């Protein structure tokens, strides 16, 4: 016994409390109820992450830096002289996928690959002068346009609490 492949006429579901409804037959869209979905951490986490990345890209439009590119510049600045494998794996990027990313940054003269003399198989990564300058500007944009909006929205204390919990999940879950 399968479901009949034809639906009932309209206005068959007045249940669920007809709250947002206008006068009578006005057939405006009427948003769906998220229900348990809004309690699913994974769902909310993903939606929040998309919003944050979207805002990041807008804030960085003038420098044309993606979140991934920014993270590479930050990490290479903090750890100059490390090779591709080390930097990529720290960021959770697979070595094959790191090649094109680096090609891009190097072609824009933001960072450089230097063949190591210790182990001629590996490429040491460093920021160029331009890379350092761009990163400095990027940090300012992130601080003044991006993170500041988050502080506005959540408050300084909450933002730090949020960061702590997310770090805990990222590291221990």
Partner DNA sequence: TATTGTTATACTCTATAACTATA
Partner DNA sequence: TATAGTTATAGAGTATAACAATA
List binders of its own copies among 35-74 (CB under 8 A): 35-53, 55-56, 67, 70-71, 74
Residues 98-127 that bind its own copies (CB under 8 A): 112, 114-118, 124, 126
In the list its own copies, DNA, none, the entry touching 107 (Cβ below 5 to 8 angstroms by class) is none
Secondary structure in 3-state letters for 44-80: HHHHHHHHHHHHHHHHCCCCCCCHHHHHHHHHHHHCC
In the list its own copies, DNA, none, the entry touching 33 (Cβ below 5 to 8 angstroms by class) is its own copies
* CB within 8 Å of 150: residues ≥ 6 apart: 52, 159
* CB within 8 Å of 33: residues ≥ 6 apart: 16
Residues 67-86 that bind DNA (CB under 7 A): 68, 83-85
SS3 159: helix
In the list DNA, its own copies, none, the entry touching 114 (Cβ below 5 to 8 angstroms by class) is its own copies
Q: Is position 9 an interface residue for DNA (rule: CB under 7 A)?
A: no
Q: Is position 102 an interface residue for DNA (rule: CB under 7 A)?
A: yes
Handedness of CA 24, 25, 26, 28 (dihedral sign): positive
Write down the residue that tokens 């890379």 correspond to.
131
Residue number with CB closer to DNA (22 or 95): 95
User: How open is the CA angle 79-81-86, to the nearest 5 degrees?
Assistant: 70
Residue number with CB closer to DNA (73 or 93): 93
Residues 148-167 that bind its own copies (CB under 8 A): 149-150, 153-154, 158-159, 161-163, 165-167
Residue number with CB closer to DNA (57 or 150): 57
Please give the DSSP secondary-structure letter assigned to residue 109: T
Q: Is position 51 an interface residue for DNA (rule: CB under 7 A)?
A: no
Cα gap 59→159, rounded to integer Å: 19
Minimum Å gap between C-beta 146 and DNA is 17
Region from 18-26, 94-102, 140-148 binding its own copies, contact rule CB under 8 A: 140-148
């Amino acid at each position: 016994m399968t479901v009949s492949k034809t639906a009932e006429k309209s206005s068959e579901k007045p249940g669920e409390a007809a709250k947002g409804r206008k006068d009578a037959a006005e057939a405006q869209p009427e948003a769906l109820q998220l229900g348990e979905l809004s309690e699913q951490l994974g769902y909310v986490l993903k939606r929040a992450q998309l919003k944050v990345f979207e805002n990041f890209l807008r804030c960085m439009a003038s420098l044309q830096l993606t979140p991934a590119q920014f993270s590479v510049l930050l990490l290479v600045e903090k750890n100059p002289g490390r090779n591709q494998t080390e930097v990529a794996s720290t960021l959770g990027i697979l070595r094959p996928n790191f090649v094109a990313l680096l090609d891009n940054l190097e072609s824009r003269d933001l960072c450089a690959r230097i063949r190591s003399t210790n182990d001629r198989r590996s490429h040491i990564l460093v920021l160029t002068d331009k890379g350092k300058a761009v990163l400095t500007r990027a940090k300012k944009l992130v601080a003044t346009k991006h993170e500041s909006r988050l502080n506005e929205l959540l408050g300084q204390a909450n933002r730090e609490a949020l960061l702590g919990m997310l770090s805990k999940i990222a590291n221990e879950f």
